[in-house]
Chains A and B, each alone.
Chain A
């Protein structure tokens, strides 16, 4: 049973190439962590009409920590929320 909840932002450009396998490694180690993937940026704008929807904010808030992939700007809203919004 998972004790912890971690919000993951895969990031932009080459960042997912290291973020995805790192999370996959943690999953294979069978750690007590559930990973959630809040939407952000252009993808969130298209699907939910906001670059950082309330649902994503809630996922970040409910998580015990966030694992953040480097952003070239597309997930900046999430980064600024993590830094100044919380």
Chain B
């Protein structure tokens, strides 16, 4: 789970020079901002509402899951004690409402090492926007690449769904793009609409397709074309 509206993504950037009147002193750099020389800044904003919303969503998701029922929160709360520390503080507050769900926090660099070395020890993970942007692609890499990773962006009353990968212009028109990420995004959408049984039909069809080892897309080491995969998947889904 990644917050998706704020953090460093507000687009509030500019020249360091514009901050000189604020007389900001960096205790880390032991210098006033106006003495840093030419450069740029970007504002990182961690709001109470934005943080609570995504953290609560993570706990609700954990509650729906059958296995570990755990939320792991990560941010850089040591170096960014105020902003990222706030995200973590809100995590501890929200956790009080979910005594049935385990809760733990790791600094983001430690988290990344854990995610790579023992991903099975994690369940639902939640973090601010920038870390989530990076970690989600890393997590996709762990399971075989962006061709497999779906995504959903959930608001209070609306949601949209898209594959985690980009537009793959290098393979356009070659009929080899892996449809798995898009299909799984559709499954997330069906779940969101309350059509969970139909989502399961597709999801299980994809599992069967991979397990059969016959129609593996190129990015996963196979030779199946996009069209062949859709045809095979449709055969599985419509006959079950």
Residues of chain A touching chain B, judged by Cβ–Cβ distance below 8 Å, are 4, 6, 11-15, 17-19, 21-22, 24-26, 28-29, 31-33, 64-72, 82-84, 86
B212 at the interface (CB under 8 A from A): no
How many interface residues does chain B have, given as a range? 35 or more
Chain A proximity of B140: nearest CB distance (Å): 14
| Docked complex Cα distance between A33 and B179 (Å) | 21
| Dominant secondary structure at the A interface | mixed
Q: Which residues from chain A contact B195 at a C-beta distance below 8 Å?
A: 4, 31-32
B210 at the interface (CB under 8 A from A): no
Number of A-B contacts defined by CB within 8 Å: 111
Are A6 and B169 interface neighbours, CB within 8 A? no
Chain B proximity of A49: nearest CB distance (Å): 25
Pull 12 A–B residue pairs with CB atoms less than 8 Å apart, ordered by A: A14-B174, A17-B175, A21-B230, A25-B233, A26-B190, A29-B201, A31-B195, A64-B193, A65-B159, A67-B162, A70-B166, A83-B4
B163 at the interface (CB under 8 A from A): yes
Are B189 and A18 interface neighbours, CB within 8 A? no
Given A18-B179, A68-B162, answer yes or no on A28-B167 (Cβ-Cβ < 8 Å).
no
| Docked complex Cα distance between A14 and B179 (Å) | 10
